[in-house]
Amino acid sequence: MRALLVGFTPEFVDFARGLKELGWDLAGTSGTVKGLREAGIEVDQVADLTGSPEMLGGRVRTLHPVIHGGLLYRRGHDQDEAEVAEHGIARIDLLAANLYPFIDTVTKGAPSLAEAVEQIDIGGPAMIRAAAKNHQWVIPLVDPADYAPVLEALRAAAGAPGDVEAALRRRLAAKAFQYVAHYDTAIAEYLRTGDEPFPSQLTEGMTRREVLRYGENPHQRGAFYTHDSVRTPVEGIGAYEQHHGLGMSYVNILDADAAFNAVADFRTPAIAIIKHTNPACFATTPAGRDASLTALYERALGEGDFVSAYGGIVAVNRVVDMEFATALREVRSPTDGETRMRYDIVIAPGYEPDALEHLKKKSKDLRILSAPLGEPRRERLEFRAVRGGVLVQDADVQEVTRSDFQVVSQRQPTEAEIADLEVAWAICKHVKSNGVVFVKDGVLIGMGAGQPNRVGSALLCKEQAGERAQGAVCATDAFLPFPDTVQVAASAGCTVVAHTGGSIRDEDSRQKADRLGIGLVVTGVRHFRH
């Protein structure tokens, strides 16, 4: 029996020793030969098998009939057996291969195109595909985690690869083809130019981070994968680290992502409390206010939807300090002033060590996560599955500032109202479908979402805000073909309404605002989210 080992890593050493103990012959390319011989393991050079030297700067090492014939010929097939005998091709019964580090090269440095191209492996993928195709007789290995199980299976089969359980060989073959596809996906992404975001054929490289306890419902299975882009680093929830609490579920990850994305959009200190992916409470730091997370937390909770906040997800865009950790543990619900607030998750860019230990004492179940904020406005693609397909779009990274606001009403907003409109518009981006939000002094005091019509969302927002809406501003991503939403916001006490504009009935909304004596602002930018 012969094994071919290509792309030396330290894990090869113990694996090679195990194969030797089973009586196998070993062959390898120059780097593998060097590494194994230094470990005292006898191994043949591929060049000695092929009778051909490595050439073209290493571009041609294993692209040879002796190698591919040894991997691909069908054992017991009369014509194949005759041809390998005629041409002196020896069988190769196992391939363990590691590819050139293309992904590391292009993601951990700034190589030139020529340097990157030299890290595109050709012979490795060809051999892996050959071994995987012929897995009925050849064992393909691309993951060091499989070395020990394969050795165990070979020992049970008295060293004969053909006697290894067929299900194992098939699983390894599938893994090998996926490994090569993942590798090729990274190369294709790297070589694509920026003016071709949606090629006619598209694959997405992903790595399973964890198998979840279940999917959205207990009867569904679920797993969490990270996007392995060579253009965009893994940020946000994709790179989370868990420090405490129960394992994450499918819904936990959705909600934590929504919460962390909401605060990541703000440059000022911000806190969000999310329930079912929508913001129940939110606060950021207006000019002249205390910027501490604790002060923001108390304002967000006290003036927001504290009923929905119970059992929600807390996210902040600053490192959690001891004061804030204490507040999270001790602050009572505004509902009765006695019940401690309960949360499923706290997520932040980081924690002071003593704050983390203190927060762990709140509940054994509380999931405490840290994640890198990254660059929220970094260009990237978003994917959403539908039955039978996938929707792909540019991520909504456009930032709307006061320079995008066009006042169309007679009443001009004050400086404080413009500042609140910036906050309200940014929050509205994170409210799902027909979103309407009321904001006052940087705090979310009312939110309506998910209604089939914009007026329903506005009425929910008004009901939730109550008297707190007096002097607030309103932002909505809803299309306003009628002035009804303006009417509801004004009746709640809002002094300015911001919307996208663009309806042929915009003039009706402007006239309504003027009659009601409130400001009306259009942005021309929409942040509608389903």
The catalytic residue positions are 133, 276
**Which amino acid is residue 521, in one-letter code?**
V
Kindly tell me the burial class for residue 54, based on how many C-beta atoms sit within 10 Å of its own C-beta (0-12, 13-18, 19 or more).
Answer: middle
DSSP state, residue 411: S
The CA distance from 293 to 62, in Å, is: 60
Return the closest-CA partner of residue 308 out of 456, 133, 446. Answer: 446
Q: Residue 289 to residues 50, 273, 286, 300, 437: CA-CA distances in angstroms?
A: 75, 20, 6, 13, 21
Residues 6+ apart with CB under 8 A from 368: 242, 243, 244, 245, 345, 346, 351, 356, 359, 360
Exposure of 373 by Cβ count < 10 A (0-12 exposed, 13-18 middle, 19+ buried)? Answer: middle
Nearest CA to 432 out of 476, 469, 389, 390 is that of 476
SS3 at position 475? strand
Cβ(382)–Cβ(392) below 8 Å: yes
Q: Which amino acid is at 343?
A: Y
Tokens of 501: 């504009």
Extract the tokens encoding 426: 């940014």
Cβ atoms of residues 449 and 456 within 8 Å:
no
Measure the CA–CA gap between 33 and 37, rounded to whole angstroms: 6
Alpha helices in 88-146 (DSSP H): 102-107, 113-117, 123-133
Here the contacts of 497-502 (C-beta below 8 Å, separation 24 or greater) are 497/473, 497/521, 498/405, 498/421, 498/424, 498/425, 498/473, 498/474, 498/522, 498/523, 499/475, 499/523, 500/524, 500/525, 500/526, 501/406, 501/408
Strand partners, 343: 312
Helix (H) or strand (E) holding 419: helix 415-428
Longest dimension (CA), the chain: 96
